Amino acid sequence: MTDVLLRARGVARRYGADVALQPTDLELHAGDTLALIGPNGAGKSTLLSILAGALSTSEGAVERVHGGRVGWVPQRPALYERLTARENLELFARLEGIDAATTAADDLLASFDVPGDRPAGALSVGNRQRLNVAIALLGAPPVLLLDEPTASLDPGQRHRLWDIVRGDTVVFSTQNLEEIGLYATRVAVLQRGRLVFDGDVEAYERVHAEEVFR
């Protein structure tokens, strides 16, 4: 068994009487690329936010086995719109304690082909999302958590993003089922806030998609 990098033990989230996520156990192993799928409102963003530490649990806990940080890409870009793309990257690099902030920013701008000197608020939707992912990659975190990272990207941009993150340990939510066959090694399925499947891609392919998204 490969090293466990992240472990969720019975994590759940409630808002009053509404249950967004029922108690859920999940382990992420080194080298996993885990596709998190399910209908809208199934709890995917809630689970990812909990794994990232951006949302507290109503019960249960998340354990980062080696104490490492995660790179977190929420659906809505978390950046400063008045700062340029380069300034955003340099700021977040310094917050992560990266000494060579300018070099790190330049490398990621080149990798993602994002205009560095334009205010983030003036970037196209696709460029804002690529900047969002670039920020998460600062410091080469051992785990990446991506909430529908390719939803606003064209096909070429999608391939470029996956070329960059491929080989990392990743959890990504998606509505694009083609990405499962192309990039995932494991699949987890959420329905109505409950984890109903967690297994390898071959096992998932034996489950009819119409059952998953019912």
More confident residue, 2 or 36: 36
pLDDT at res. 212: 62
Which pLDDT tens digit goes with each residue over 141-183? 999 999 999 988 888 888 888 988 887 899 999 988 899 999 9
Residue 134 domain-assigned (yes or no)? no
Residue 35 domain-assigned (yes or no)? yes
Residue 195 domain-assigned (yes or no)? yes
pLDDT at res. 182: 92
Residue type, 135: I
Measured CA to CA in angstroms, residue 60 lies from 16, 21, 42, 83 at distances of 17, 11, 19, 38
Asked whether the predicted pLDDT for residue 207 surpasses 90, the reply is: no
Give the ranges where 53-124 is alpha helix by DSSP (H): 85-95, 101-112
pLDDT at res. 157: 87
Range of the domain at 204: 1-68+143-150+173-214
CB 207 within 8 A of CB 197: yes
Residue 80 domain-assigned (yes or no)? no
Asked whether the predicted pLDDT for residue 27 surpasses 90, the reply is: yes
pLDDT at res. 152: 83
* Arithmetic mean of pLDDT, 46-68: 92
- List the structure tokens of 7: 């472990």
- Which is it for the CA torsion 199, 167, 85, 102, positive or negative? positive
Residue 8 domain-assigned (yes or no)? yes
* 196-202 contacts, C-beta under 8 A, 24 or more apart: 198/26
* Arithmetic mean of pLDDT, 195-214: 78
Residue 107 domain-assigned (yes or no)? no
Q: How confident is the model at residue 208 (pLDDT cuts 50, 70, 90)?
A: low
CB 187 within 8 A of CB 179: no
Residue 29 domain-assigned (yes or no)? yes
Give percent above pLDDT 70 in the chain.
95
pLDDT at res. 119: 94
CA angle 113, 118, 123 (to 5 degrees): 70
Phi, psi for residue 199 in degrees, rounded to 5: -170, -175
Residue 86 domain-assigned (yes or no)? no
**How far apart are alpha carbons 174 and 90 in whole angstroms?**
29
Q: How confident is the model at residue 76 (pLDDT cuts 50, 70, 90)?
A: confident
pLDDT at res. 89: 96
Q: How confident is the model at residue 5 (pLDDT cuts 50, 70, 90)?
A: very high
Judged by average pLDDT, the poorest of 2-6, 86-90, 115-119, 147-151 is 2-6
Domains of the chain: total: 1
Domain CATH for 195: 3.40.50.300
